Each structure stands twice: as structure tokens, then as C-alpha cells.
Chains A and B, each alone.
Chain A
Amino acid sequence: MPKFSKSPWVMHYDGSSCNGCDIEVLASLTPLYDIERFGVVNTGDPRHADILLITGGINYHNESVVRQIFEQMPEPKVVVAVGICACSGGVFRDCYNIKGGVDTTIPVDVYVPGCAARPESIIDGLVQALDVLEKKSAASAALSEGESNAQQS
């Protein structure tokens, strides 16, 4: 696990899960698992969030909401699909109102399997997401540096 310059804020949204993974996401914030020790803070505002935790597959009613939340998040941003439903649609794959996993709607960086995903695996997914976030912010920093050099010359 690399060192981080900033503390990443996570936001949680329920695509159309059974509540199991949502509760496990909350449980990973509480004393036994405590992801705040990685500097991770749970926020309710997409404009403040670096990492989006999505549980459950995407249903047709929710699709636009998920897309809007994703678009409202500032760059760089990382999406973590929590639970098997978010990865592929899971047990609800054949339901008429389920479009599929989260990656049918927005790009996903980290997949966390499990039904319900255990707090340990959610934390593991978050730590991997921190890696992705660090790479993305380095890439965007290099990009903006290149742009400012180009302007100067």
C-alpha cells in the first residue's frame, strides 16, 4: 500500500441491491473495521467524493441517477462495484428490471465480489481503489503540467 498525499472521501450509492452490501459498507465504517484509519471519510455529497462505492446491479429507473452522481464527482475519481450484483447482476441478473452490473452504465475500476461482500473485502477493494486514485491523480497532474509547459513555451 503506497503513501497517500490526501485522504480520500467515499460516497456510497445503492444501485438496486438487497441492502446487504449497503449495511456492510456502513459496518466497515464502525469501530470493528474502521476504514477511517486510512483517512477514508464517508460523505453524502458527490461533489466532495473521490471514490464511489456502488452496491447492487443497475435498474432502469436508477440508471440516470447513477450516471448523474458519477458526472457530478470531480476528477480524478474511482468507482468500486461492491458485491456480486454490482459486478455482474448476480442473482438478479434475469430480473426484467435489471440492466446488469455497474459497468453497463459507468466505468468501474475495482470489483469487490461477495454476497453480501464482507467488510474485509470492501476494505481490500478500497485500498486497491486508493492505488488507482493515486495513479489517476499522478496522470492528471502530469497532464496539467504538460499543458502549462506548452503554454509557457
Chain B
Amino acid sequence: MKRTIVPFGPQHPVLPEPIHLDLVLEDEKVVEAIPSFGFIHRGMEDLASKRDFNDYLYVVERICGICSYMHGMSYCEGAERIFGVEIPDRAKYLRTIWCELSRLHSHLLWLGLLADAFGFEALFMQSWRIREKILDMVEDSTGGRLISSVNLIGGVARDMDREMLAGFVAQFDKMESELRSLTKVFLKDSTVRARLFEVGALTKTDAILYGAVGPMMRASGIELDTRKLGYAAYGDIDFDIITSSGCDSLARCEVRIGEIFQSFRIIRQAVDKIPDGEIYIPVKGNPKGEATVRVEQPRGEALYYMKANGTRNLERFRVRTPTFSNIYSLLKILPGAQFADVPLLILTIDPCISCTER
């Protein structure tokens, strides 16, 4: 059959960020997808050698505006490992709470974008309405809605008092009940199911072969979560790894919704267990050595590598972001899909292009 090449992007209504794919089509069916990148590449890793390592923290937070908090936290964890300091327990718990708040807002954002991608405007608005409440909590506790800049090498810059934490938890019940009714629409509604069920299947074998991470991997039935390594205060907290054996777009939606409820559970536990005490210990001098940090971001496992040579600047800073790993899975699920499903399939990996290209 005659083949057609349709360019997709870089400017496309479904994507907040530019990504370009050349889609090779046979009739309406995608045969091959050829990606091209670099529309957001800024060259941030190179800045590490120009900025003071303390200032560079604020650059790292701007790798991505959605998972900003976790980028900053991982950078600090890496630096703390190089310095060989153990941060106070209270700071660890505060980091855990902020991590989960950012996971909540990221997953709710994704649910909204997914609803927008299959044309369910009301569902998009509802998801983002709930997300605003999470952002209010982030703003109350850090001062910023997206870029919080609350991490420091050696701890955190702000504390949350007991009333604030109790206030957050008090709002969770209502949010959970609102989310439950949204969940019904996402997973049970026939129009939504028609777009998601058995669309973009990635088998368990393929997920391993193509190195999928995060919810994408867990939706293919692999039970793995970097949080179980116990960074920050995750070691003391009990939570389930949400998996699904559906392998399709609906399963990815199901896993992310499940993780939202787990995040509420984690924050509740952290609020109960948080110890009193210091939140910051001063760290002096210049770092020398190297460190590798793995964290579970909303989109999956991210890996950070940093090397310091005893000067004010880092010698090397490197990030492998979850979207980078998931692009291969995306290129696996696109061939065979209908052309109309392409925007949806791109969204199901939860792409964060600014993370990937930096």
C-alpha cells in the first residue's frame, strides 16, 4: 500500500511542549514513527561548570516546572552524599510530604491532559480544579506554586507547623471523595473506555525490553518502585506499589489514579510520624567526590549523577529522566495504532520534554 508521511508537531494542540514525530502512515494506520528532538534543549548540564554549586540548585529546579521539587531534592541528596552529611529527620519527612504533593499535582495534571486529549472537556476542568487545591497547599508551605526553591544542601529552608499539616490532611477526605467520583468516569464511562481500552498495548516483555519506567512500566504488570529504596523518609512509610496487568492506556490511567490515593496515604502517615527538631544543618566547604541518586518521579525513575572536584563548580552533572526512557516504549506502541489515537498515545507516557532535553 502507498505510504504517506505526516508531520506531527512541533506545534500541536495536544502538547504543551514541542516534540516532532514523522508518522509513516498506510491509510489511517501508523507504520512507523520517527522522532526528532531538541526544540527545548537549552544546555543546562553545561551550566554546572559555570555556576557555583549552591546556585546551580536553582538551575536544576528549572529542568522541569512540573517535577521541579524532586529535581531540586535529588540534587541536594547527591550533594549531601558527597559531603557525607545526614540531614535531620524532620527535613526528611518534610521532603517526603513535598514529594508526594508534587506527585499528586503532576498526576492530576496528567489526568486532565488525558481527558483533554480524548475530547472530554468537563473531565479536564474537574481534574484541574482538584489540582488547584494541591497547588494551594504547595504555595502555603513553600511560597511558590510550581517552582518551590525550598530545598537546601543540608536540609530544607522552610518548616510546616502542626496546624498547617493538620489543615492539609483535613482537606484530603473531601478531595478523595471527589476523586472517587472522577475515577468512576475515567475507568467505567463507556466513551472513555472506547478510547482507552486495549489502545496502545505494551506487553510485560516489551516493557522490560524497551526499558519502560514509572506508571508506564507498572501498567504492564512490573512491580517496581524506586521509593522502596527508602530515600528521604520513604523507608519508614508503608505504601503499596500500584500495578495493573492491563498493559493498555486504560491500565496506565488506572495506575496513576491508584498512585494518587497512595500519595494521600503516604502524606497522612508522614504527618502522623513527623518528628520535631531541626530542619537544616549547615554544610561548609566545596564538595569533592561523586554521587549517584535514584528517585521515583511522577513519571518514573530518574537517575542523577554528579561529580565534584573540590572547586566551587561541579565537574559534571547528568540526569537521566523518566521520559527519556519511556520514549522507546512510545515508539513501540505507535506502529499499528490509528492516526487519531496518536495524540492520546503520546500522552499516555506522560511526556515531559523539558526534562528530556534540558
Binding site for B on A (CB under 8 A): 12-14, 16-27, 30-32, 43-46, 56-57, 59, 61-62, 65, 69, 91-92, 94-98, 115-116, 118
Contact = CB atoms under 8 A, between A and B. Distances in A.
**Which of A13, A20, A24 counts the most B-chain CB atoms under 10 A from its CB?**
A20
A31 B125 contact: yes
Nearest to B128: A30
B110 to A, nearest CB: 11
Interface stretch (B13-21, B150-158, B159-167): B13-21
A19 B354 contact: yes
Contacts of B59: 91-92
Ranked nearest first, the 7 interchain pairs of A and B with the lowest CB-CB distance are A20-B65, A44-B13, A30-B128, A19-B65, A95-B43, A22-B16, A97-B43
A71 to B, nearest CB: 13
10 contacts: A13-B11, A16-B39, A16-B41, A19-B352, A32-B129, A59-B38, A65-B39, A94-B47, A95-B43, A97-B41
Contact of A91 (B13, B58, B124, B145): B58
A65 B38 CA distance: 12
Contacts of B11: 13, 44, 46, 65, 69
B41 A59 contact: yes
A62 B42 contact: no
Contacts of B38: 59, 61
Contact of B47 (A23, A69, A95): A95
B66 A23 contact: yes
Interface of B: 10-14, 16-18, 38-44, 46-47, 50, 58-59, 62-66, 68, 109, 112, 124-125, 128-129, 132, 135, 144-147, 352-355
B147 to A, nearest CB: 6
A56 B145 contact: no
A115 B147 contact: yes
A22 B355 CA distance: 14
Given A24-B145, A30-B125, A95 B18 contact: no
Contacts of B46: 95-96
B210 to A, nearest CB: 24
A26 B65 CA distance: 13
Contact of A19 (B17, B39, B58): B17
B1 to A, nearest CB: 29
Contacts of B64: 18-20
Contacts of A45: 13
A43 B14 CA distance: 10
Given A19-B65, A62-B10, A12 B39 contact: no
Given A62-B10, A65-B10, A13 B18 contact: yes
Contact of A61 (B41, B135, B144): B41
B65 A22 contact: yes
Given A14-B40, A44-B12, A56-B40, A19 B66 contact: yes
A94 B63 CA distance: 15
A95 B146 contact: no
Given A12-B16, A118-B145, A95 B39 contact: no
A30 B109 CA distance: 11
Given A92-B47, A94-B47, 12 more contacts: A14-B18, A17-B354, A19-B65, A20-B62, A20-B65, A24-B145, A27-B128, A30-B128, A61-B38, A95-B43, A116-B144, A116-B147
